[in-house]
Amino acid sequence: MITPLPAEFLWVVLIASSALIVGSLAALLLQRTRRHARARRREALDAQLRPLVLEATVAEGDEIDDVLERVRALARVEREHIGRTAYQMLRDITGEAATNLRAVADAAGLVPRVVADTRSRDAVIRADAAEALGLLAPEGALERLRELARDPSPEVRTVAVRALGGFDDDAAVRSIVAALAADSGVPATVATTALLQQGWAAGDRVRLALEDEDPSVRRGAARVAGILQAPGSAERLVALVDDPLESVRIAAMRSLERVPSRDAVGPLVRAALEGGVLGEAAATTLLAMPGAWTREAIARIDHEAEPGVRRAAGLRRKEAAA
């Protein structure tokens, strides 16, 4: 008679597995019970404190001082909850209501905690703090965020650069442009989005960045130059249509859709005839330009370009046209 494995071994596996199953079930029930209890506590605090937060949101003039006094008089748990509520609401609210909510968060004691967290050893806590600094914008936040934009952790740098987008200041713009560099560790989308938040304030720096030695900086600047309508950028964007790096060329072409220049037509036609993604981007840009500038260019594309480029230029199928 055969016993494939020592029975003792199977018993050990069975007992260990059974014990772990019981443990898992207990963990499952405990987790759910605790989560539901936490949700109930939050709901109760919400019902109690939300009217106060809403009152703060619509307060005008001196009315806010009275609300802030009442916030300061709350118990610690309540202050923490109200601070958290105000903070969450700040993600969706702007203007005077946002200023009031920031004051509520400050009165609830959130700001000192956030500032202290920016010096935490844990990168995730520092990143959370950078996010909060951007939303709460307390005094000194800009300087602290610029420091965090040079943090050893790329995660913290990324959040800090994103937060800097909300500070209308040339120092913030400089930090953001620096984050466009290839070795910054900050995703280009984050830095360029932050630049866009700066609006016109970033225009001059973006124009200069279009001539940067680092192709990543040129690409980032090219992506936003058109949207920002940065003054004097069209000429530089035309030059970038012939950049050595394809992604820079495509970024420049897409920007030229918004800041069209007649000088771009020649380089764009050449790019269109190269075909591929580049050619499609060039054709799309030409299509967005005034017809009087591009009539001959489109005719050339009609005869010489590959079908994908012809489609991007809005040209009909040959058989359909016939």
Partner 1 sequence: MSWDWLREALTTFFAVTMWPTGIYFLLANTAMLVLIVIAARHFSRYLRRSEHRGEDAMAGSPVSLGVSVIMPAYNEEAVIRTSVRSVLDLRYPDHEVIVVNDGSADATMQVLKDAYGLVLDDRDVPGRIPVRGTIRGIWRAPDGAVPLTVVDKENSGRSDSVNVGLDLASKDLVVMVDADSILEPDSLLSVSKPFADDPERVVATGGVVRIVNNSRVQGGRIVDVRMPKQTIARIQVVEYLRAFLLGRTAWSDLGALILISGAFGMFRRDVLIDVGGLDPDSIGEDFELVMRIQKWIKEGKRDLRVEFVAEPVSWTECPSTVKVLARQRRRWHRGLWEVLWGYRAMLLNPKYGKVGMVALPYYWLFELFAPLVEIAGIILVPLGLLLGVVDPAFAILLIVVSYVYGTLVTLAAVVVEESSFHRYERWSDLGATLWAVIAENFGYRQLTAIWRLQGWWAGLTNQKQVWGEMTRAGFSEEADEPTGTPAR
**Which positions lie near partner 1, rule CB under 8 A?**
1-5, 7, 10-11, 13-14, 17-18, 20-21, 24-25, 27-28, 31-32, 35, 91, 124, 127-128, 130-131, 155, 158-159, 162, 165, 187-190, 192-193, 196, 223-224, 227, 277, 280, 284, 306-308, 310-312, 314-318, 320-321
The smaller minimum CB distance to partner 1, of residues 10 and 73, is found at 10
Q: How many CB atoms lie within 10 A of CB 193?
A: 16
From the CB of 104, what's the least distance to partner 1, in Å? 19
From the CB of 321, what's the least distance to partner 1, in Å? 8
The smaller minimum CB distance to partner 1, of residues 41 and 317, is found at 317
28-to-20, 35, 254 alpha-carbon distances in Å: 12, 11, 52
Task: Identify which of 282, 274, 268, 261 has the alpha carbon closest to the alpha carbon of residue 305.
Answer: 274
DSSP letters for 32-60: HHHHHHHHHHHHHHHHHHHHHHHHHHH--
The smaller minimum CB distance to partner 1, of residues 26 and 171, is found at 26
Q: How distant is the alpha carbon of residue 53 from its chain centre?
A: 27
From the CB of 192, what's the least distance to partner 1, in Å? 5
In whole angstroms, what is the distance from residue 76 CA to residue 216 CA?
A: 48
The smaller minimum CB distance to partner 1, of residues 166 and 260, is found at 166
The smaller minimum CB distance to partner 1, of residues 70 and 84, is found at 84
What tokens were used for 189? 């989308």
CA angle, residues 217, 219, 223, in degrees to nearest 5: 115
From the CB of 206, what's the least distance to partner 1, in Å? 12
How is residue 263 annotated by DSSP? G
Q: How many CB atoms lie within 10 A of CB 268?
A: 27
The smaller minimum CB distance to partner 1, of residues 239 and 277, is found at 277
What tokens were used for 290? 């005034």
From the CB of 298, what's the least distance to partner 1, in Å? 13
In whole angstroms, what is the distance from residue 288 CA to residue 294 CA?
A: 9
From the CB of 261, what's the least distance to partner 1, in Å? 20
Instruction: Report the SS3 class of residue 201.
Output: helix
